[in-house]
Amino acid sequence: MKVERLLEEWVRGLPLRRAPATLELRVCRELQRRAARPWWFRGFSQWPAGARISFVAVCGAIIGLTFGDGAWTMLVRTLSDAAAAPLSWTHTTVAVIESVCEVAALLMRVIPATWIYGGLTAGAVLYAALFGLSAAAYRALYLQPSLAGDRQ
């Protein structure tokens, strides 16, 4: 008899496997865990009506300000003026970053281009070598031959 027909006969009326006893408990626990989550962790459709209305109103306001006639710019300027005093330390930080960038640019001009390309090539070769070693180690030490079919 052909294998196809035989398989069809064997499969017909085959009993189902019993689900593990733990499945029902797992589903119940997960449902309880999801029910206990605060509303802002759930989907938008499950938010309280007030929160949904507020969210839509805020989004609408942002869109209005963005496309409004200069209103957004005015709001940002007002906010940045208000925040300028407590954020004075940012000037120092910006100055430090600028200095570091200038030093880097100076070094780039001083160091010959061949050194830079050589360094980049060496880095790439080292990266490839480490990657190959770790792949070989994974295949030799971790991947089991019996799981070959599952790990495609």
Partner 1 sequence: MTFMRAYQDMVFSTAARLMGNDAGAEDIAQEVFLRAYEHFSHLRSSPAAGGWLKTVATNLTLNHLTRYRKRWRLFSELKQHEGDEPSAAAEFEWEVPDTLLADLDADQRRQLIDGALRQLPQHQRVALVLYHFEELSYQDIADKLHVSLAKVKTDIRRGRGALLPLLAAGGLGRG
Give the pair of three-digit tokens for residue 74: 């005015």
If one asks whether residue 23 binds partner 1 (CB under 8 A), the answer comes out as yes
User: Which residues 6+ apart lie within 8 Å of 39 measured at CB?
Assistant: 46, 47, 48, 51
* Member of 49, 85, 115, 139 binding partner 1 (CB under 8 A): 139
CA neighbor of 55 nearest in space, from 71, 66, 43, 67: 43
If one asks whether residue 102 binds partner 1 (CB under 8 A), the answer comes out as no
If one asks whether residue 105 binds partner 1 (CB under 8 A), the answer comes out as no
If one asks whether residue 10 binds partner 1 (CB under 8 A), the answer comes out as yes
Question: CA of 87: how far to CAs of 40, 42, 77, 95, 134, in Å?
Answer: 31, 36, 14, 14, 47
Q: What is the contact mask toward partner 1 in residues 29 to 48, using x (rule: CB under 8 A)?
A: -xx--x--------------
If one asks whether residue 8 binds partner 1 (CB under 8 A), the answer comes out as yes
Identity (one letter) of the amino acid at 83? A
d(CA 109, CA 113): 9
Q: Which one, 34 or 77, has the nearer CB to partner 1?
A: 34
Identity (one letter) of the amino acid at 133? L
If one asks whether residue 138 binds partner 1 (CB under 8 A), the answer comes out as yes
d(CA 124, CA 77): 46
Q: Which one, 110 or 147, has the nearer CB to partner 1?
A: 147
* Member of 50, 70, 112, 149 binding partner 1 (CB under 8 A): 149
If one asks whether residue 3 binds partner 1 (CB under 8 A), the answer comes out as yes
Residue 55: other Cβ atoms inside 10 A = 13
The contact set with partner 1 (CB under 8 A) reads 1-4, 6-8, 10-11, 13-20, 22-24, 26-28, 30-31, 34, 135, 138-139, 143, 145, 148-152
